[in-house]
Chains A and B, each alone.
Chain A
């Protein structure tokens, strides 16, 4: 089971600023191991975020996103106590969803 996604959602004026830290190897598929064999690519391909169930971001990623990806974005129309959920899906079909409350 993949490690939890860390999500911080906080009000800044009228915006909800969302900071997300995911735990993932994000193996590029370019690297070789000590035997000279290519390490297969293993990376998050899709990330989506919802505010009280409403989509607020949909991303597609390639293997160039850094290990343990960081993402920041913001949206309007939220208030303290609202819920922000983030989901990722990697190229092996593994997925993880976590949720935070807007502070």
Chain B
């Protein structure tokens, strides 16, 4: 990054300024890309609405991989979600009893497997929903994860 900036300064000129404005733009757009309404949503329905859906269907076409049923440490619960719904476009993880239930939302372009693994903090035992968007429709699969030691902090 530093090197690049130095090169840019050395080169100078309006053309170069335009060149650096380019790479900067995705970051600005990204800040708006974070869906505040969805992350502020308190219920599954609110969250799905904020993501652009209108209701959802229950699905069994989600596998939870090595996701535990009982987590000893709520500070890092490894959740693995894989969708077998054709043309999955996005996967969201909603932890019902967390202060902010929407924990993560992954957009899956063509060529990327509809499968993600991440670790989450869980305040207490809770239902965890995998929200799968496929062909514009929202599907939800649910599993309870029991937490024996909360990871609020």
Q: Which residues of A contact B (CB under 8 A)?
A: 15, 26, 28, 30-31, 45-46, 48, 55-67, 69-77, 89, 93, 95
Contact = CB atoms under 8 A, between A and B. Distances in A.
17 contacts: A30-B153, A31-B153, A57-B106, A57-B109, A57-B112, A59-B105, A59-B116, A63-B100, A64-B95, A64-B100, A66-B76, A66-B77, A67-B75, A67-B76, A70-B119, A71-B117, A75-B111
Interface in B1-55: 27, 30-31, 33-35, 38-39
B120 A46 contact: no
**SS class, residues of chain B in contact with chain A:** mixed
B118 interface: yes
A74 B111 contact: no
B112 A75 contact: yes
A30 B99 contact: yes
Contacts of A67: 75-76
A65 B119 contact: yes
A34 B98 CA distance: 23
B103 to A, nearest CB: 4
B112 A73 contact: yes
Contacts of A93: 31
B121 A72 contact: no
A65 B103 contact: yes
A58 B119 contact: no
B113 A60 contact: no
